[in-house]
Amino acid sequence: IIACMQILDNKLLYFFLALSNKSNNNNNNNNMLTRLNPSQVSLEIKDPVDARALEQAKAILAEVRPNDAKHCQASNLLSVAKRLGDVPDNDNDEKEATYTVSKADCETAYNNLSEEDRTCLKNLHDRIERFAQAQRQSVTDVEIPIPGGVAGHTVSPCKAAGCYAPGGRYPLPSSVLMTAVTARAAGCETVVLASPRPAQITLAAAHLAKADVVLCVGGAQAIAAMAYGVEGGSGDVSVPSCDVIVGPGNKWVTAAKSIVNGHCGIDMLAGPSEVLVIADKTANADVVAADLIAQAEHDVVARAILLSDDQETIDKIDRAVAEQVSCLPEPNKSTACEALKLSFAVKCASIEECIQISDDIAPEHLEVQTVNAMEVGQKCANYGGLFVGEHAAEVLGDYGAGPNHTLPTGGTGRYTGGLSVFNFLRIRTWMRVDSKKDSQGMVDDSIRMARLEGLEGHARAAETRSLTATPAFKKPCD
């Protein structure tokens, strides 16, 4: 749904458009999508972390965790949260100020929903959970025999998961479910959720996802609180240090995640959201246009991309975009119109060329609306999430068909995938030798390889397990 809702001063990890020859773009014809030739689309890898936001995030982390303390200080976190508008700054009611929301308040928010809204939220929860549980069951503990013994791996969850759900312009209960439910399905013992100025529907989703701690702060201060933990202040519970932090956010969230990465794990450093649609002449122009607009309304730097082997199809879809976007309410309309200025359409020689360009871009969301759509989709190698056929709308993935909507952006789909239970799991290997005699071939190989690498201490450690070799340290020193 959202890789992130942010402007990063164009210092982003995404494709770069070579628009040097604007006379070929036909923008004078009032096209909604800039027209590009295949040769005008290229990939430029840039840093997803905004330099100014990084400096600001460092300052915030230093403020909430002075002198590199083990944990964030509750009073400092509350002070920053007030200053940045996460919580009300009311000096006359200091005792009421808090950076957490109680489980009781989350439950009340859930109970106060209409029956229809509760049912919708529960349906999303159940589909996300079912898919995540299937992922978890797909990887199991393994054992194999080795010379003289057994080796294997175990699969286990991290203890505490931190989940970030953006606030701000739109409440995003779907992001709460996508992150927290997935962490629960992985088996995490503790789930901490952070969302600035959470709406009631966000708190209801937190209750349904069984979040243990809900922070009503955002930005770099929220990431710091989840990474380093917070010792409870007056009126607040303690926040545990999280082993992994996931979820999309603004440029300060991204910057802070880059800082704490290593102290804890993170899922990804996300850039602006993207959708790419491969369409042929059989595509429904109104459907494709609606999907492009749905992506564009995310943020002014979101990208909606159309690839087709048919010029008439491109023109039909462009006209449908113009007609539909004019009917959007505000602020969605203005946001979408700005994003569409950065969006484009490419007339390709064939569907095969469409696939090639799509693979070069590695879009966050890839829709295929063609004849034999599944066959075309299976030929595509690089993307975050694939949506096959006219009826598999990307928006259905946004709202809980099952697969996670937190997906790699900016070309990173070339080497990684979206959020899943695997972000919360550890695969740890082990070995045991039961028969010293049967392990001797492995011991001899280890002695020889260690000396080939010049690691004499390694060789001697192996020799202590040998039935034939005398450890070098027991021989007279030269």
Query: Which residues are marked as active site?
Result: 364-365
Secondary structure letter of residue 350 according to DSSP: S
Whole-angstrom distance, CA of residue 380 vs CA of residue 315: 24
| DSSP characters over 285-318 | HHHHHHHHHHHHTT-TT-EEEEEES-HHHHHHHH
Whole-angstrom distance, CA of residue 305 vs CA of residue 36: 11
Whether the Cβ atoms of residue 361 and residue 369 lie closer than 8 Å to each other: no
Whether the Cβ atoms of residue 96 and residue 90 lie closer than 8 Å to each other: yes
Whether the Cβ atoms of residue 442 and residue 147 lie closer than 8 Å to each other: yes
Vertex 289, ends 284 and 291: CA angle to 5°? 100
CA distances (Å), origin 438, targets 142, 149, 448, 458: 21, 8, 18, 20
Closest C-alpha to 150, from 158, 159, 141? 141
Whole-angstrom distance, CA of residue 370 vs CA of residue 441: 58
